[in-house]
Structure 1
Amino acid sequence: MANVKRIKSDNLFQLKITLNHIKPPIWRRVLVDSDIKLPDLHKIIQTVMGWTNSHLHQFIIGNRYYSLPDDESFCKVVDYRRIKLDSLFNTPKSKFIYEYDFGDGWEHSIVIEKILPREKNTYYPICIDGKRSCPPEDCGGAFGYENLITIINNPEHEEYNEMMEWLGDYFAPEEFNIDEVNEFLSEKNFGCIELFD
């Protein structure tokens, strides 16, 4: 077995998180501690993407599934509560999947773009870039979201008023507020509501 050099915990992973099957892409770039535990990474993803932690989730790494153990799971799940990201990956360009809401099937591709040193006096995690707003919860996955966008872009559509009422006060699909995201990340649980952890 080759001697693999371990990454020190004073390093950061620069992650690019992209919501699959959506065009134009919805994505975020975030710096996290390399030794972050997977449950905390889940919370960070929820916050930076704009989800509400209202559904189950899992990481898919290779052919293994990482999440909370569940007697009703369809496949064998590795209990992820003590697993650190740098115990699974130690090189840039590594890729894995984060799946959220098994009904809607939101799949996120995650790439470790870079390994960087921590900067002193800087709070991590921090979101450094991103594009577009997260889809609303329970909108029916990528196909449902595409339909939603078609409807709200056409005030003459027969379902326009109903859709706007369902969306509530404000939904701007092209906006992304990085300052608000970073403010949430600085809060307890990285700004993530504690429903599933």
Structure 2
Amino acid sequence: MPRQIFQLQVSLAGVRPPVRRRVLVPGGYTLDRLHRVVQYAVGWQNCHLHSFEIDGVQYGVPDPVGELPLRDELDTRLDAVVGKGSRFRYTYDFGDWWEHDLVVEDVLTADPDERYPVCLDGEGAGPPEDVGGPPGYRLLLDALADPLHPEHDAMRDWLGRPLDPTAFDPGRVSTLLRRLC
């Protein structure tokens, strides 16, 4: 049977300008590998805990103490828990609480000449780590855009680099995905 490729739309909830990615991912990937795809596609650094919620079931790295009832993402293949039209959620950084809405837009047959995963398109730069979730990201963007904002200098110094919230390069993301996933 030919390999199935899932076309996923990943949208970061609660942020403006919008941050979304459309990626092609092998259906045989475990949720752990899908976690890495989302990390690299959005521009995160994989510094925090995460979980998936699919049909009311939580998946992630099991908690040895047992406080969070998570099914092991290493034992769960994408094609075993979702199909075309499925919607599910990925949450990253339980302090900042970045929620990502994922939709399986299509299930395709793998192109034998293509390497996966691939980022087809998207929009918006991913927010920096530890900015404080959607409200902190909004404050950062407002402060950076206004030199008279009381937090302008502090936020610029904290970030330490220029930020164009609309910038996005799917080719660069595909290169990262192929190297790191």
TM-score (norm 1): 0.88
Matched, 1:111 2:103: yes
Report the equivalent of 2:154: 162
**What runs of 5+ residues in structure 2 fail to find an aligned partner?**
none
Report the equivalent of 1:22: 15
**CA separation in 2, counterparts of 1:139 and 1:106?**
11
**CA separation in 1, counterparts of 2:45 and 2:66?**
22
Match of 1:59 among 52, 65, 70: 52
**What runs of 5+ residues in structure 1 fail to find an aligned partner?**
1-7, 191-197
How far does residue 113 in structure 1 lie from its aligned partner after superposition? 0.3
Specify whether residues 9 and 46 from structure 1 end up closer, same or farther in structure 2 by C-alpha distance, changes over 3 A only.
farther
Report the equivalent of 2:30: 37
Matched, 1:151 2:143: yes
Q: Secondary structure of 1:12's match? A: strand
TM-score (norm 2): 0.95
How far does residue 158 in structure 1 lie from its aligned partner after superposition? 1.8
Q: After superposition, where does 1:172-183 map in structure 2 within 5 Å?
A: 172-183=164-175
Report the equivalent of 1:3: none
Report the equivalent of 1:138: 130
**CA separation in 2, counterparts of 1:48 and 1:15?**
12
How far does residue 11 in structure 1 lie from its aligned partner after superposition? 1.3
Aligned length in residues = 181
How far does residue 170 in structure 1 lie from its aligned partner after superposition? 2.2
**CA separation in 1, counterparts of 2:18 and 2:66?**
30
**CA separation in 2, counterparts of 1:25 and 1:130?**
9
Contact 1:29 1:130 in 2 (8 A): yes
Report the equivalent of 1:194: none
Q: Residue by residue, what CA displacement relative to the aligned partner does 1:74-113 show, whole Å, maximum 9, x if unpaired?
A: 43111121210011123x2100000000000000000000
**CA separation in 2, counterparts of 1:54 and 1:131?**
23
Q: Secondary structure of 2:143's match? A: helix
**CA separation in 2, counterparts of 1:43 and 1:73?**
24
Counterpart amino acid of 1:136? P
RMSD of aligned Cα (Å): 1.3
Q: Which structure has greater helix proportion?
A: 2
**CA separation in 1, counterparts of 2:143 and 2:61?**
37
How far does residue 159 in structure 1 lie from its aligned partner after superposition? 1.3
Moved more, 150-159 or 127-136: 150-159
**CA separation in 2, counterparts of 1:58 and 1:84?**
14
What percentage of residue pairs aligned between the two structures are identical? 38
Counterpart amino acid of 1:144? G
